[in-house]
Structures are given as structure tokens and as C-alpha cells.
Amino acid sequence: MNMRWDVFNCPAPLKEELSKQLDIPPLVAHLLIKRGITTPQDGQKFLSPVLHHLYNPFLMKDMDKGVERIISALQKKEQISIYGDYDADGITACALLMDFLRSMGIKPSYYIPHRLMEGYGLNPEAVKKIAAQGTKLLICVDCGISDREEIQLARQLGMDTIVVDHHEVPALPSLAYAVLDPLRPDCPFPFKGLAGVGVAFHLVVALRSRLRESAFWQDSQEPNLRCYLDLVALGTIADIVPLVDINRVLVMYGLKELKDTVRPGLITLKEVSGIGKEEISTGHVAFRLAPRLNAGGRVATGQLGVELLLADAYGRARSIAAELDQANRERQGIEERLYKEAKEDIERDGLQGQKSLVLSSDAWHPGVIGIVASKLAEEFRRPTILIALEGDAGKGSARSIAGFHVYEGLQECEEHLLGFGGHKYAAGLKISRDKIEVFRDSFEEAVKRKLGDADFMPTISIDAAVDLEEITPELLNYLSFFPPYGSANPRPIFSTKEKLPIHDIRILGKDTIKFALRGKQRAYEVIGFGMGSLGAQLPAEVRIAFHPKMNDWQGVKRLQLELRAVEADKER
């Protein structure tokens, strides 16, 4: 199998020390160190996350200014408008702030731009429209950090702006009243990986704290901020930010809230997604809930998502959820067609030898190019940019691979772009049609400067090479503390240290393989979903990469190894 196995080599002294300090097996300490956890304090936080691990929100630069300005608007009865991005992160952040401001007695309005007609971020016409409605305070969520000119326009039209964002900071929007972004170079907030909804949640925590000091809720019910964590978990998982540090806390508690949510919008969204009363996992959110919530912004309007999350009547919520479900089906069809066309372009133009992929077309839908770029980046192991052209310009979505910071790569080519924004693995851009060729060459050189040949090989990241006898029920019990899984905290993958004999190979159904792998003391059951084609290729001995799990079939539990990859070079 043509795949590089990247096995983590853990420093033995550090593993032994952490194992003793936390009173855990060395293999569990090994897994923690692989996730950047090297102290007993961080280990305790990882294995037992609790809400008091959250940082003081006032550590975030400008948080005090933002809070004071919102309270001032409350006291002066000024109109507040929230401007959110059209993706799931922006939608959940917008709904969260709307909900909390209403609990303060404020009646805010909100605005979600149309992806096709207005594009990402603030735009002048929207700013003018919002100002004409009498808005005095504009709060941008999951956008705004790159919109200096639009924020200057808002100021000229009599509005103060609070930016609540998490994207890379090209240059601070100097006329914004407050800029809340952990990636600000001068921001001392300890964790830099929050999603936009995570930053919005910290604003709400800070607001409640300041209002509590003034006895604001002495005659009414103070909002329980746990009730907002369903929205935080949804937006955080959807935006694929690292599920470490406080994101881990927010998502763990948020998934519990999501399971028992009382929001009609989320209840009906779960219904159309085929989710019942079972425990909610990050997979449920990433592959069922988030695509439907995102679908409005991709092929219809992102406003539908906010309407759904704020709906207080089940009839209206069910109607919107059904509309988003249909939009998601439409998105899937468009995505499939675009993916096929992009692959045909790559093969026709012989681009497989390139170190990057930059493709463009007048026929592509801007709402799905990001999804397809992600698929192509993973399949071809290349930083990938897809550009949807219209008229003299185009909108592009960039997706990267490990080792290449795509935002920094775009910075090296910015002379060829009309604008761009984003972060390490994903970015958006605007470009003139006549600049695409020179940009393609410039981006290719930027990638070549940063990546070597090994970076382009398909790679499987192995947490630890083990003897099968180390995979015990005790280990599986410790692994139950590792979710929620996601970016920067994937489900652990182990490999055997050496090739081991196999026997009793069977093909189940259409595409599942099952066989027994002989360890030192006994045989272990291995199952590979979607890997039936391996059946005719497997030699007498193999080295495997796998997830260990406890299979529960008709009340009988037994250890099973879920196959991820096979390394073999002997003929059977």
C-alpha cells in the first residue's frame, strides 16, 4: 500500500514521568504526549474537563471595551444589529448573541449576507442598509477582521462597530470600537483556537459577569449560560477548529446540551438528520447537523439557519428544517457534479505533477467550491484552490494539507489578489479573471518553497506501535475519556510493531473484510469497513493500523480491531 506510516516516537523518560504523576498506564501517557499534553495539570484537564477550566473572558483584548459599549447601548436604548457570516459558525454565533441580548431586554436585529450576491464579510450596501434602520452599534460575528473600509463607512454613518472574529488579522480595523479576536498579536488570551461562536460565547460570559455585578437580574431570571453551549458545540465542530484546551470543554458540555436541547430549531434539525435520543457525537454534528445548517448559506440564504435556531414555534421550525434538508440534497448534487468536473480538469491538463492545484470555471457554484476543494486536497495531497468565475472576477476557496499554512501562502501572492482572508488550513479569496494564470504560478512556487516530496505522500498518523497484548479492556476504558474527537484530537490509531500471521479471511456483504490476526498469546478479530477489495491481496503476514473498540453484538462484548491500513510485502 503506497502510504507513509508516521509513527509517533514518544520520549521514554517523559512518558514514564507523566505515567507516574497521573497514575495512568504508560501507553495512555504516550497518547496524551502525542496530543501536546506533557504536565500532570494539563493531563487532568484533558481527562476530566470541567467548565471552571474556561479562562477569564476579560483576558481577551478589548473585551472590557466591547462589554461597556453594549451596556451603554442598553442604557441609552440604542438599536443594535448583529452581522454574521453565512456558515454554521457565523449562524450559531449570531443566534447566540441574539438570544442573549434579548434576555437583557434588548431587541436587536441581524443581517446575514447572501453568499452569491454579496459574498463574505461586510459589504458597503449592507452597511448603508443597516445604518438606515437606525442602528448605532454594529456587532460583526465570524467576520469583520479584514473589513477596514466597511468599518470606516459604518463610523461615517454614525455606527460603532464591535468585531467578534477568530480569523487571521491582516491589519486591525483601526476605526472599530472594539476588536475581539484571540489571533490579535497584542491579545493575551491564552487559547488562540476558538471558533467565532466561541469568541461570541466569551463575550456573553463577560457581559453576564458585568451585569451581575450591577444586580441587573435581581428582579428577573438570570440566563444560564450552559443553555447556550448547544450552539457553541455546533458552530465549533462545524468550523473544524482544534478540539483541544477550552474548545474541548465547550464541546463536551455542548454535546450534552445538544442531546437534551429544548430549542425547537435544533430538535427539528435533529429529526430531519435522523438523530434520535441517542448520545450526540462530534460525528453527528460534523456529518449530519452542520451540513444541513450550512446548506442554506451555500445554495439558498444563511438567514434560514438563524431563523431556525431562534424559532420558538415547532411548526415554523419544522418548515425551516425541511427546507434546509432539501437545500442540503441540492447541495450534494451540485457538489458531486463539480467534483467530477474538477477531477476531469486535473486529468485532462495533466496537473497531477503540480505541487498545488488551482482550478477555475464559470460553471461552478461558489457555495460548494470549499467542500470540493477539501476533498481534492485530501485525495491528491495538494494545497487546493477552486475559483468560481463570474464576469471579470472570481471567488475562490483554498484548502490545505499538513505543513502548509495556506493563509501565509496567499500573503506571498497577495499582489495578484483583490482580497483574501482565513487561517491555517482554509481561506477565501477574490481574484480578477486575468490574474489567475500568474497567481497559479506564484502559488505553486510558494508551496514548493515550504513543502518537500515527503509532504505530498498519503500519510497515516500512528499514535503508537504496540504489541497486541497491550490492547486491553483497561486501555479501552481510558480511551473512553478521550472524546470528543475532532481536529487536533483524532480518534487514536495504533499499529502492530511487526507483521503478524493472518487467517480466516472473510468478506461480509459487499465491501467489508474480516480476518483473524495472530498475536503472541491469542488471535484478535479484525474488521475493515469499505475494504473488501483487500481480500485477494492480503499475504500471509501483515502489519496493520487500527482503532481498538469493544464490539457489542446481541449482548456479547468482545475486543475488535477496526482496520485503517495494511502494510504488507510478502506474497501469500
- Residue 155 CA, distance from chain mean position: 33
Region of 184 (left: φ > 0; alpha: ψ -120 to 50; beta: rest) is beta
- Percentage of residues in the chain with pLDDT exceeding 90? 86
pLDDT the model gives residue 221: 87
- pLDDT tens for 300-348 read 888 999 999 999 999 999 999 999 999 999 999 999 999 999 999 999 9
Position 570 pLDDT exceeds 50: no
Give the mean model confidence (pLDDT) for residues 33-38. 96
> Beta strand pairing status for 459-462 and 541-553?
unpaired
Task: Report the top-level CATH class of 463-567.
Answer: mainly beta
pTM comes to 0.92
Q: pLDDT class for 552, splitting at 50, 70, 90?
A: confident
pLDDT the model gives residue 568: 62
DSSP state of 313: S
Q: Could you please report the per-residue DSSP string of 152-164?
A: HHHHHTT-EEEEE
- pLDDT tens for 247-286 read 999 999 999 999 999 999 999 999 999 999 889 999 999 9
Of the candidates 28, 45, 441, 56, which has an alpha carbon nearest to the alpha carbon of residue 245?
A: 45
DSSP β-bridge partners for residue 387: 360, 396
CA distances from 88 to 221, 305, 520 (A): 29, 8, 49
**CB 165: neighbour CB atoms within 10 A?**
30
Question: Could you tell me if 182 and 192 are in contact, meaning their C-beta atoms sit under 8 angstroms apart?
Answer: yes
Average per-residue pLDDT for the chain: 94
Whole-number Å distance between alpha carbons of 368 and 458: 24
The x, y and z cell numbers of residue 404, run together, are 502548509
Residues of the chain within CATH 3.90.1640.30 domain(s) are 57-323
pLDDT the model gives residue 572: 38
- pLDDT tens for 436-458 read 999 999 999 999 999 999 899 88
The x, y and z cell numbers of residue 102, run together, are 434579548
The SS3 of residue 467 is coil
- Strand-by-strand arrangement of the 79-84 sheet: 109-111, 79-84, 135-141, 160-164, 178-180
pLDDT the model gives residue 27: 97
CATH 3.40.50.300 fits 339-456, yes or no: no
Whole-number Å distance between alpha carbons of 374 and 306: 25
DSSP β-bridge partners for residue 553: 556
DSSP state of 489: B
Position 372 pLDDT exceeds 50: yes
Q: What angle do CA 169, 175, 177 make, to 5 degrees?
A: 90
Position 569 pLDDT exceeds 60: no
Whole-number Å distance between alpha carbons of 145 and 122: 10
**CB 87: neighbour CB atoms within 10 A?**
27
Residues of the chain within CATH 2.40.50.460 domain(s) are 463-567
Question: Could you tell me if 206 and 63 are in contact, meaning their C-beta atoms sit under 8 angstroms apart?
Answer: yes
DSSP β-bridge partners for residue 474: none
Provide the H-helix boundaries in 349-431. Answer: 369-380, 406-411
Give the mean model confidence (pLDDT) for residues 220-224. 91
The x, y and z cell numbers of residue 216, run together, are 441587573
Residues of the chain within CATH 3.10.310.30 domain(s) are 339-456
Whole-number Å distance between alpha carbons of 502 and 490: 28
- pLDDT tens for 110-144 read 999 998 888 888 999 999 999 999 999 999 999 99
- pLDDT tens for 54-87 read 999 999 999 999 999 999 999 999 999 999 999 9
pLDDT the model gives residue 537: 79
pLDDT the model gives residue 423: 86
- pLDDT tens for 7-22 read 999 999 999 999 999 9
Domain 57-323 architecture: Alpha-Beta Complex (3.90)
Position 2 pLDDT exceeds 80: no
